[in-house]
Amino acid sequence: ARRKKNLFWLPAIAPLLSVILSTLIVYLTKADKQGVNIIKHVKGGLNQSSVHQLQFHGQNVGQAAKIGLVCAVIALTEAMAVGRSFASIKGYQLDGNREMFSMGMMNIAGSLSSCYVATGSFSRTAVNFSAGCQTAISNIVMALT
């Protein structure tokens, strides 16, 4: 089937619809009274530095290191797969070493302020591709909106 260029935004609203529907279901079923925790207010701004909370002793350090290694491998594999998929579509080369280095530096910097693991988001990349974005400025626009 031919793709309709004017409907490029349709797949992009799926996450928004998911949030709206799940919020509506929680509200209508009064799930917060059944034990579902609801986040009422999220403070804006940057996270505080969490370097002072870093501990390398205790009974769970080995387990945390194993889990961290598995998470890192999965995140890197996902980022490389997404990057290679769109690189082949767009016809450019992807340098795996630079990709791994930048992902590592990004996650080290993020871990110092309690951020989530950063990966190559397939959904954001797909939305940018569908919208016809040509530069990385689109990521800044998406972050601000």
Rounded-to-integer distance, Cα 120 and Cα 84, Å: 11
Residue type, 89: I
Q: Which pTM does this prediction carry?
A: 0.56
With a CB cutoff of 8 Å and minimum separation 6, the contacts of 87 are 93, 94
pLDDT digits (tens, 9 = 90+) for 45-55: 777 888 888 78
Instruction: List, for residues 76-129, the tens digit of each pLDDT value.
Output: 888 888 888 888 888 888 888 888 898 888 888 888 877 877 776 777 777 788
Among residues 130, 138, 117, 125, the alpha carbon closest in space to that of 94 is found at 125
- Residue 87's alpha-carbon distances to 37, 92, 118, 141, in angstroms, are 41, 5, 19, 22
